[in-house]
Amino acid sequence: MRIGLDVSNVVTHTRTGVSRYTIELVSALRGQVEVQDHLTLFYKLSRWKHRKDWWCPAGLARRTYYKGWWPPSKDVDLIHGLDCTLPPWRGVKRLATLHDLLIMQAGNSIASAAFRKKRYQLYRAAAAGADAIITVSVTTKQDVTQQLGVPEERVHVVYLGIDQHFGQHRPEAMRQLLRRYQLSPGYLLFVGTISGRKNTARLVQAYAQSRAHTERPLVLVGSMSYRSEDTIAAIHQSGLDKHIRLLGYVPDADLPALYAGAGCFVFPTLYEGFGMPILEAMASGIPVVIGNTGAAPEVSGGLAVSVNPYDVEAIADGIDRALETPAPLLARARAYATAFTWERCASQTLALYRSIV
């Protein structure tokens, strides 16, 4: 079987969410395909000017494409759009992963009108042209069937995995990394973009109202994104500038130690299609606060403190309650999270390829 994978979304210096899914899935697929199978990575021609940043492991073919016109010979049996984009190719099976449909439910607090319009068009094209669709949660599958009108039998849920290094840190390595970031163990941690979608402005407001703010700093890890200025304003208004740290984008290699050093992971986002950080925190053995919307409750398995992400007081209360999570519940959450592997994700994805082709 000749498998094509559109990996255009990994052309970035700050790989998060979807780009991490792309890299981990392709890497796991390489270990599971049979000798007669071939993987080819495709990049949109529009990414050519960034080709020095292209990701392409040794031993894999790499090609560019331009809509349905180039290359004239595709040489694949199936093309998988890993971030909902599907080349309009004829004569090949087409599969698209849709991670979430948030932009169809939210307004300008989440993304610009131009971005929402573009994504909506991509979703509609995938719904109309894909032989099958992968969603990363049951929640997103329901959104796809209800909002895009895709028949249930064409939509397949394949859960994502997490890096197995979470929870496997060495204490001395953790202490060294925390010293580098000038942190002491026990802080409240958030990992994700600083943005309206991730609800970081309300998180800051809730932190200021929580009992925890008198004892623990809040550490926000992630790049600035759409409506990040609301979070900066909330920090200044809180009067807790010295207690809130903005670390910016942090390399993946540093994340396991940052999770391990935290006293609680606070992630009351407005909507998640999956939410890898939830499982990363659980695997690290720390309590977790999530928003009760989207797929976060599904992915957490009922093992996190769930709050209304639009209610600042509820988030503040959730933070204080999470810090009292008993050790047996943390152990259950840890065992639960480590079952989410990229090997399982790749195995289920590969089985779907074979059934489609």
- Please tell me which residue, 264 or 127, carries the higher pLDDT value: 264
CA gap 171, 179 in Å, rounded: 12
Q: Per residue in 287-304, pLDDT tens?
A: 999 999 999 999 999 999
| Cα distances (Å, whole numbers) of residue 156 to 46, 99, 346 | 30, 12, 13
pTM score: 0.93
Note the pLDDT tens digit of each residue in 71-116. Answer: 877 889 999 999 888 888 888 999 999 998 887 776 566 677 777 7
Contact 56/62 with Cβ under 8 angstroms?
A: yes
Q: Does position 13 have pLDDT exceeding 80, yes or no?
A: no
Reference 5, options 31, 50, 41, 54; nearest CA is: 41
Q: For CA atoms 33, 82, 20, 207, give the dihedral sign.
A: negative
pLDDT at position 12 is 62
Mean pLDDT in the chain? 91
Q: What is the pLDDT of residue 208?
A: 97
Residue 236 has pLDDT above 90, yes or no: yes
Q: Are 266 and 222 in contact (CB under 8 A)?
A: no
Q: Which domains does the chain have, with CATH numbers?
A: 2-161+341-356 (3.40.50.2000), 171-337 (3.40.50.2000)
Q: Which band of pLDDT confidence, cut at 50, 70 and 90, is reported for residue 153?
A: very high
pLDDT, greater one: 15 or 157: 157
Cβ-contact 298, 244 below 8 angstroms:
no
pLDDT at 169: 72
pLDDT at 246 over 80: yes
Confidence of residue 215 (pLDDT cuts 50, 70, 90): very high
Sheet-wide strand order for 262-267 = 244-248, 218-221, 187-191, 262-267, 288-291, 305-307
* pLDDT single digits (tens) 171-207: 888 899 999 999 999 999 999 999 999 999 999 999 9
Cα distance between residue 281 and residue 188, in whole Å: 11
